[in-house]
Amino acid sequence: MIIFFLWPPDAATPASPRLRPSPRRPLIVALQLAGEGKAEQRRRQEDRSKAVDMATAGASSFEDEIMESDIELEGEAVEPDNDPPQKMGDPSVEVSNEKRDQAQLCKNKGVDAFSEGKVYLPVLIEISHYNKMNCKLDEAIEHLTEAIVLNPTSAIAYATRAVIFVKSKKPNAAIRDADAALKINPDSAKGYKSRGMAKAMLGKWEEAAQDLRMAAKLDYDEEIGAELKKVEPNVLKIEEHRKKYERLRKERDIKKAEMEKQRKHAEEVSAASAALKDGDVIAIHSSSELDTKLKAASSLSRLVVLYFTAAWCGPCRFIGPVCKSLAEKHRNVVFLKVDIDELNSVAYRWNVSSVPSFFFVRNGKEIDKVVGADKNGLERKVAQHGSS
């Protein structure tokens, strides 16, 4: 802000347009400088606010969860069967040899009925064929259920019934039987096979692949191989999809961490700027206050001129206005003034042997100093270090 005042010409020389000195001019200059100081403060505050706002906005842009796209998989999952759980055997029942023999006969009947039912699978054209197949499968399940009740320790009976439940499109029932079979015999290939096929029907492709691979390892057959050929491409797509989004989330988390780091840095810069008074010589009245100012200057990568003085020191009174002038001129340099009588512990810490003494500090470390009221030396070193 610049203010012009035009005064009337001197009465003695009416032709001359020179300005008359005014006693109000120092006040005008003071007001002008005050206005410039307020403008500078507003500008710094705006810069600090912008830094914080930018960092905050950047961090918030990564807060939303990444929305995963759908995976195009081959095959269709069946509707889960929600029937009441099938009848299971009581493992606490003691199985006699007679019951074992009866159970074996029932199991054989079940297998025969299942074999007859399979005849209709390739020719399901007429409704009568479908009904006949279902009747045979239901008959097979009844025989096997009787076998399981008679001998609940037979893993093969559970596993065989599980296979029939798979053919009957009842995957949950098949999984219950397969679990029972594997509990009795952890190496039941048929148990893993039936459970893998049932989980594939439910669209649980990875679990299905795991069971089918185990079944193939224990006792490979063509049906297991054919099922794996249908399941494994979907598993590969799922794994690639998962890796893609794990990578995206990792990248997002890295960006969030970086933006959070920038936000914290912006807040530190804002707090540091608020703690320092550009253009002023700041009087320090405690050791903690000095540490705070030095830390604030370090966070802003600014040079500090630490000025030790005393009220009784004549050279200090001479050099004081020079410091003030330098602070106004070099606004990026932080001038801190310490009275050695008020803070003798600080003076001792900095090995002050005489006053005035000036320590040039950057990032908390002394890089140079001037001892005595050396006006020229002080101006030269402030210009030298303040610009680097």
Residues annotated as catalytic are 313, 316
- Pairing state between β 304-309 and 334-339: parallel
The rounded distance, in Å, linking the Cα atoms of 113 and 135 is 9
362: left (phi over 0), alpha (psi -120 to 50) or beta: beta
Show the tokens assigned to 164: 């029939």
- CA–CA dist 356, 135 (Å, integer): 109
Q: What is the DSSP string of 351-382?
A: T--SSSEEEEEETTEEEEEEESS-HHHHHHHH
Q: Provide the residue count of the chain.
A: 388
Contact 294, 364 (CB under 8 A): yes
Start-end of H helices in the chain: 25-60, 97-118, 127-150, 155-167, 171-184, 189-201, 205-219, 222-275, 287-299, 314-329, 344-349, 375-386
Tokens of 102: 């009866």
The Cα–Cα gap between 140 and 146 comes to: 10
Nearest to 284 by CA among 314, 304, 313: 304
Nearest to 326 by CA among 277, 267, 281: 281
